[in-house]
Structure formats: C-alpha cells, structure tokens
Structure 1
Amino acid sequence: MKLINSFATELPWACEPVAPQPLANARLLHLNRPLLGELGLGEVSDEQWLACCGQARPLPGMQPVAQVYAGHQFGGYSPRLGDGRALLLAEQQAPDGQRWDLHLKGAGKTPFSRFGDGRAVLRSSIREYLASEALHALGIPTTRALVLVGSDEPVYRETVETGATVLRTAPSHLRFGQFEYFAWSGQGEKIPLLIDYLLRHHFPELESGAELFAEVVRRTARLIAKWQAVGFTHGVMNTDNMSILGLTLDYGPYGFIDGYEADFVCNHTDSGGRYALSQQPAVGYWNLQKLAQALADHVDGEALAAALGQYEHQLMLHYSELMRARLGLETWEDEDPALFRQMFQQLAADKIDYHLFLRRLALVEASGPWPASLLTLLPDATPWQGWLDAYRARLAREGSEDATRKARMDAVNPKYVLRNALAQGVIEAAERGDMAPFERLYAALQHPYDEQPEFEELATPHPDWYLGEALSCSS
C-alpha cells in the first residue's frame, strides 16, 4: 500500500478536510478483491476495510477531504455543490505507478451537504457498485467499485432505509464543475493551477490547456458514443457529473433500455426529458460549451472553438464504428446509416428488447430460415421482412462468413445486461439480509459477452410491468 494525498496537499483551496462519520452496526458486504489486488491494496484486511469504510477509522496515511465544485443542473447554474456525501480519503499509487483516488460515498455530512444528511442508502450503493463494474466489463470508461458496506443506520428518503457506503476509485474524480466553480466565484486565478495539476498527474503527454480541452472533448464524445451504442442512459448529465477524464461518473437514476425507446427517460424528476437517451449526445456538447466558457480567460478562444468543432465528428465516427461492429459489418457503405435508422425505427415501433435483438441477430445465416429465437422477439415478423432481407444482402456484399461473424458479434453484443429489474431484485434480497442474489448477478456481469449457462435466467426479457421504469435522484 502506498497512499499519497496530492489533491489535498497541492490543491488545498479546492477541498475541505472532513472526518467521516460512522454507521451504526456497519458490516462488510462485498470486496472487489481482484481490483484491490491490481491497485496494490490486496494486503489490507477485511477488518481494516470495514473500519475505514463503515466505522470512521481511515487507514494510516489517509487525509480525507471533500472537494468543492459547482455545476449546471438541468440547465440551471448551481454555484456551490461539492462532495456533499463523499470524501476523497487518499490516492493509492498502484504497482504500475498509476494513481487511483479512494473516494468514499455515504460518509456523512460535509461543508457541501447543504440540507442533506450526507448519507447513501443500501439501494443506491448496490446500484452504483453493480453499474460501475458492469460498464467496466462492457469496455465503457467508468469509476470502479472497491468496497461495499451496509449498516443498521436509519436514513430517511421516500421511506426509512438503511445507510451504506461505497468506496469507489478512478484516476481522478475531477469534473467540469470544478472549473465552473472557480471561474464564476471570482477565483479564476485558480484555473491555471487546476490545469497544471491535471497535466502533471493525468495528461503528461499534453502541454497546454488547449490540448487538454481538446482531449476532454474527444474522451467525452467517445464515452457518449459508447453509452448510445449499448443503450445506457445516465439520467443526470449535469456538468458536476461530467468527468474531466471522460469516465462515467456519479450513478444515480441510470438505466439500460429494455424494449427499445429512443426517448427513454430513466429519471422520474426529468419531466422534460432533458437527459433522455436520444438527448445525451446534444447534452454532452452543451456541457462542453459550459466548460469552454469556464476556461475562456485562460485558453485561446480559437483553440476552444476548434476543439468543440470536432465533437460531433468524433462522436458519430466512434458510434458508427460501434454499431457496424454490433451488426457484424466490417466495411462501410454509404447506405449503412439508412440501414441503422430503419432498424431503430422498427425496434421502437415494436418495443423490441434491444439487447436480445442484437445478440440473436448474430444467428442470421447467409441463407435459410430466419433464426427462431430472433423471431420470438418480434410480435409480427412481416414488418421486419424488408429490413432482414436488406441486412442479409448487406452481409453478402462484403462476403460475410456466418461462424466468424457470429463470434465477432457475440464479443460486442452482451448477453448479460444490468437491467433495472435485475438490480431491483438484488436490492430487495439485500434489504432482507440475503446477499446471494447480489453475488450471482455480480458474477454474471463480470463476463457479459459469454454464454454462462448457469446464469441463463439473468439473460431473459423482463416483465412488462418493469419496462421503462424511471427512478428518483435519491436512487
């Protein structure tokens, strides 16, 4: 273990020292042992992790701080947000030299809690733990989960729930909102120091704020392209939830689509659909504009504009690559966008399960009947006949070989997806004290592209009553 505290010591004006608060009857629920080992933390005992994450006894060398930031929330500017229920305990320097934040969520009140209690509930903690590891297994940049702790601490949300903590990790939790806070609070002189910190510790290959912003644009575009391709809706794409490193950050009312719905909204407080699935690319650009405005006094304006001008190209290029791969296509044709568009239109018209459709599409062969398992997803195959014929013809034009293509498609179309109904079942069991369903789902999500017949029931369509379920921000 090699703990350092570069953020706390180099940027003391960007955080406040805060001691975590203990949970009543805290108990260790899960450790991500493989990742702890990769980070050089494998020798820390279970008892030490429980003490650190549930009993307010940080490991020796930790200097807990709450980071300050601002952000645009649903389009309106909130001038002072910050880590209201989370603490940066320290940074671990892994054996390969990489730095990793150790960030404890649910640790109690901080100077930025406003009217909140600084707590997280078991429900939301399980959702974040599972989602971060599920997205990582899907190849999507994200924070990761290290430790899950439960307790008997009463926490008041819509009902009385129990408190929990998640120790999450990432190379950095710096977000767009940090730059906004210092830009609009009369402390603009701090922004060059933030840029310098990022360049030294996270982007040593870059030389300037202009290059940094261009890289943030590229990473954000590619991240959102991945979200769109896999059918993931973040739910609260406020600028304070946007990572400078291009990571999926702050899991609240997220959702993977079930039956395809382009305008799927997973957050029931998002009545206007600002953060609907179809709106995420545009919101990503809007958020980058706000970051550019915060940087405008310190980075050349033409460079900022040029970088923003690359966003749509970067996003569409990567999205097109991802969707061609998901359909088993190795070459580009000018008619491909129309093929994609017609597929999405028919998926939406019939509310077809997005994930199972793409997974079973791999069974299509050059000739012969359509796969029975694919047809069972379609309420009526007749409207699909034209598209399926066009798809088969498209495969023939590039000389696609059935078995090879199926292997490629299975490697990019997950069989196991963290659907909200699955997460809810795990949560209800955990609230009864049964973590076995959590362990089972967690194990399946580690290998989402594999067949895993022992987990077959976790890969089936979910009941109509749960399709499109929206969640609250307190999730």
Structure 2
Amino acid sequence: MTPTPVWRSSFSSLGPAFFTELQPTPLPEPYLVSANSAVADQLGLDLNWLASPAGIDAFTGNVVMPGSRPLASVYSGHQFGVWAGQLGDGRAILLGDLPSADGRQEVQLKGSGLTPYSRMGDGRAVLRSSIREYLCSEAMHGLGVPTTRALCVTGSPQPVRREEIETAAVVARVAPSFVRFGHFEHFAARGQTAELKQLADFVIDGYYPQCRTSDRYHGNPYAALLEAVTARTAAMVAQWQAVGFCHGVMNTDNMSILGLTIDYGPFQFLDGFDPGHICNHSDEQGRYAFNRQPNVAYWNLFCLGQALLPLIGEQDDALAALETYKTVFPHELQACMLAKLGLTDAREGDRELIENTLQLLAKNRTDFTIFWRRLSRFVEGAAVDTVRDLFLEPKDFDAWLPQYLDRLPGDRAAMTAIAAAMLRTNPKFILRNHLAEIAIRQAKLKDFSEVEALLAVLQAPFDEHPAHEDKAGFPPDWASQIEISCSS
C-alpha cells in the first residue's frame, strides 16, 4: 500500500489576507501524459501510485488528498512595464508542501480551474503549454539554472478555447516557494504595511535566515533581504544569457523571490544567435528581447525595492542593496562565459575576448548551442573546420580564432582537461521550439513517447545520448515559423 503524502500548508499560516482557500475544479477523463521519476523520488512519492487512477486524480485536482489545504494566493504586479493592479493565482492552486531531501517543497497545480483571481481567464491551461513548461523546467534544472521543477502533467479531453480549440491539461510544479515580487508589491500598493512585514518575515525566516543576523544596513533584515534577492536574481539571469534562454514575459509577478526561473510561457532557447531576438509574439515593443533581460531584471528588482521601502526605511539602504546587481551580474556572466570558453582564471583581455566572440556569433547568426559544443570538441582535438563551417563568413572566424588560441595552454594534457570541462558546461541538448512542437503534436494523438524521450535527454543535456542525435542538430526551416505568445 502506498503511503499517503504528508502534507503541510506553510503558506496558509500567513492568514486569509494572503490567499483564498478553494478546491480545484475537476476535469473529466484525466490521463497521465508524463511523470517525472526524479522529482517523485525527491518528494518520496511512488511512481506507480502517481501513474495510477488515484495519483492521476490527485494531481489533476479531481481529489483533494488528506492533509492538503488547497489555496490560491493574491499578488499584484507590473506587466510589460505597466502597473496592472491586483493579479493573483488565476489558474494555479497550491496544494501545500511536502518534505524532501532538499527541504520542504511546495506543490502547485497549474490549470486547475477558476479562482477569485482569474479575472477574464478560464482558470485552465492547455496540453501544449503544459508540456512546454514541464519539459523546460526540467531542461533548465539539467543545465544547472535555478528553476521551479515539474512532477507530472495530466491531460483531459475537456475543450479549452485559445487561438483555437485545444484540450485541457494540468502541470504539477514544484518549488521551495512560489512567492513572487508581486506579492510584496500587492501589500505595499495597498498601504498594508503590517501584512507586508508579515510576508517579509515569512520569507526571511523560511528562506533567508542569514538576513536576521547580518550586520549590513545597520542590522536591517529587510535591506539584507533585498540584497540577497538581488544577488540571486543577478546570478540567475547571467545563467539565462549564458545558455541563450529567453524568458519572454518578465513581469514582476513572474519573478521569484528565491531567484528561480518561474512561469514558462512564451520562452525560447536561441537557435541562431540574435541578441535582439524577441521570442514572445505578444511582445510588440520588444521589452523582453534577449539582450534586454538583464536590464529588465534590474528594473523589476527596483520595483521590489520600492515595495520593501516601508520596511527598509532608508532609501539609501534600498539603493545600496540594489547596487549589488551591478557587480554580481557582470561578474557571474563573465564567469559563465569564461567557463564556456574553457578558461578557469580571469585575465586582462578576457572581457574583450568574450565580447568579440558574441559579436562574431551575432554577425553570422551562428547557432548558439552548436557553436559552443563544437568548440568544446575542437579543443578536445576535432578538426577546426567542424567549427569554421558554422559561419556564413568563415574569414570572420579565422580572424577571431588566434585570439582564442593565444588564451589556451600549449600542452595537450591541459587541453584535454579543458575540453572535458567545456563538455560539462556547453550542452549538447536544449529544448528547441521545434522539438517541443513535435512532442506536442504527438501528445495530441495520445502518443507521449517523444515527451519521455525529450525528458530523458534534457535532464542530462551534457551527455552524448547517441540514440537521440537528431535532437542535437540544427532546427528545420519550418521552426522559424513557430509563434509563441502569452496564450496558454
């Protein structure tokens, strides 16, 4: 007999000002699309039970498990740079939190029905977007980028209208906390300082206890919190830029207080390197273009700083905490890029080398992931033409190469060690749009084999997986026609 998960509801301790208790809305004829054994093991859940009718009902929201206390939280936020007022969990319901080897983890059902915060929405998610979030959160985890994770995806034949009629799905996503910048903005905007303090104390005591003992900012724990969140966010965005990840909708309500990548909607990994790439079809102004993500993250942190100001007190302290971003982000990005180049010790001229490399890739629209992987193989000993052939203008590569070679050691043993490190840094596999699209098309026909195959390679993206060589190649011509928007 499978033991019942031991649920706790830490977030509910904040009280009714922060959420509405409600039951998920059941879906007819639910079925399992995919269950993630790694996350199931982390949470102590039996995979066979998860795939059983009882498990499918539980994580579709058809049955509330004993001890679970489902709720939807309220928050506000800036969307595309404009204050949007009250938002909240419009289609996500938090079941509670479970123990794990990595500390307690919250489990949230996305697509589980209407809540008081749904506004004009229907409270549902569709199979297409649920598969994308499920696969991408695990892809990011495999790449070592801080992220929410996903336990499973379930589907239902219930129709859902988006640009066209699709079918409903629920993704069970997992994180230590789903608190966002927008939670703080909500109470600050309403002048509810007591609730703002209660939320900040909850986050500090649960996730940033070091802020209580910090002697920075005259011992003010709320300024220390802002600094800690700033540093985590800066490091996360640096990793986004290093793997060529476009979030697509960096609203303040989509920013995690723990510095996790959250809310996978119109995301994309770059194919050809285009710094100005806009992955979100709805982003007509290009606010969330790839090369704007670092500045947008800082803007969002500034909004968080404004929300925390009633607790911080001194504006200069808030500004000083935010200044952390301007040192952490460039430091972390340089470290990531040097690792991609196989360079372990920063030297004078490295910044120029990194900039020249990115300019080379941008000018030739070179495939970002394939370039770095082939460069790793070149350092290992492969022919230079395996990299040179990636460029529309090979002479540009020829002009760049001596600067890079000058930075590498001369002996073969050292080069072999560098290449091995590069192959553990530069992935062979990413979740390209066309790969997700193929998996989604098959899933609509109840064939989930491609979802499972992708999950396996994305969870270990640095491995070779010779049986899946086709997933590491260039995107087909039709991939450029795929449009992704905020609709999900």
Q: TM-score range by the shorter chain?
A: over 0.9
Q: Indicate which of 292, 303, 324 corresponds to 2:338.
A: 324
1:108-119 pair list within 5 angstroms: 108-119=113-124
**1:342 partnered with 2:356:** yes
Q: SS at the partner of 1:79?
A: strand
- In structure 1, the residue matched to 2:6 is 2
Letter in 2 for 1:102: V
* Ranges in structure 1 where 5+ consecutive residues have no aligned partner: none
Deviations 1:405-424 (Å, cap 9, x if unpaired)?
A: 11010000000010011101
Q: Indicate which of 78, 82, 85 corresponds to 2:84.
A: 78
User: In the TM superposition, what is the alpha-carbon distance from 1:324 to its structure 2 partner?
Assistant: 0.2
1:459-470 pair list within 5 angstroms: 459-467=472-480, 469-470=482-483
- In structure 1, the residue matched to 2:369 is 355
- In structure 2, the residue matched to 1:98 is 103
Q: SS at the partner of 1:297?
A: helix
- In structure 1, the residue matched to 2:55 is 49
Counterpart-to-counterpart distance in 2, 1:443 and 1:436: 11
Letter in 1 for 2:106: D
User: In the TM superposition, what is the alpha-carbon distance from 1:93 to its structure 2 partner?
Assistant: 2.2
Q: SS at the partner of 1:88?
A: strand
- Cα distance change, pair 55–308 in 1 and its aligned pair in 2 (3 A): closer
1:201-280 pair list within 5 angstroms: 201-207=206-212, 208-280=221-293
1:366-405 pair list within 5 angstroms: 370-396=383-409, 401-405=414-418
Partners of 2:388 and 2:397 within 8 A in 1: no
Letter in 2 for 1:190: E
- In structure 2, the residue matched to 1:107 is 112
TM-score by length of 2: 0.94
Q: SS at the partner of 1:310?
A: helix
Counterpart-to-counterpart distance in 2, 1:196 and 1:238: 24
Counterpart-to-counterpart distance in 1, 2:421 and 2:317: 39
User: In the TM superposition, what is the alpha-carbon distance from 1:297 to its structure 2 partner?
Assistant: 0.9
Counterpart-to-counterpart distance in 1, 2:253 and 2:76: 6
Question: Please, which moves more after superposition, 354-363 or 36-45?
Answer: 36-45
User: In the TM superposition, what is the alpha-carbon distance from 1:381 to its structure 2 partner?
Assistant: 1.4
User: In the TM superposition, what is the alpha-carbon distance from 1:343 to its structure 2 partner?
Assistant: 1.5
- Cα distance change, pair 388–221 in 1 and its aligned pair in 2 (3 A): same
**1:23 partnered with 2:35:** no
- Cα distance change, pair 36–365 in 1 and its aligned pair in 2 (3 A): closer
Name the % identity.
43
Partners of 2:357 and 2:400 within 8 A in 1: yes
**1:123 partnered with 2:128:** yes
- Cα distance change, pair 241–407 in 1 and its aligned pair in 2 (3 A): same
Counterpart-to-counterpart distance in 2, 1:467 and 1:403: 36
- Cα distance change, pair 416–365 in 1 and its aligned pair in 2 (3 A): closer
Q: Indicate which of 196, 199, 202 corresponds to 1:191.
A: 196
Partners of 2:34 and 2:448 within 8 A in 1: no
Counterpart-to-counterpart distance in 2, 1:372 and 1:209: 54
Letter in 1 for 2:26: P
Letter in 2 for 1:244: I
TM-score by length of 1: 0.96
- Cα distance change, pair 200–338 in 1 and its aligned pair in 2 (3 A): same
Counterpart-to-counterpart distance in 2, 1:279 and 1:431: 35
**1:289 partnered with 2:302:** yes
Q: SS at the partner of 1:296?
A: helix
Bigger proportion of residues as helix:
2
Deviating beyond 3 angstroms after TM superposition, the runs of 4 or more aligned structure 1 residues are 396-400, 467-470
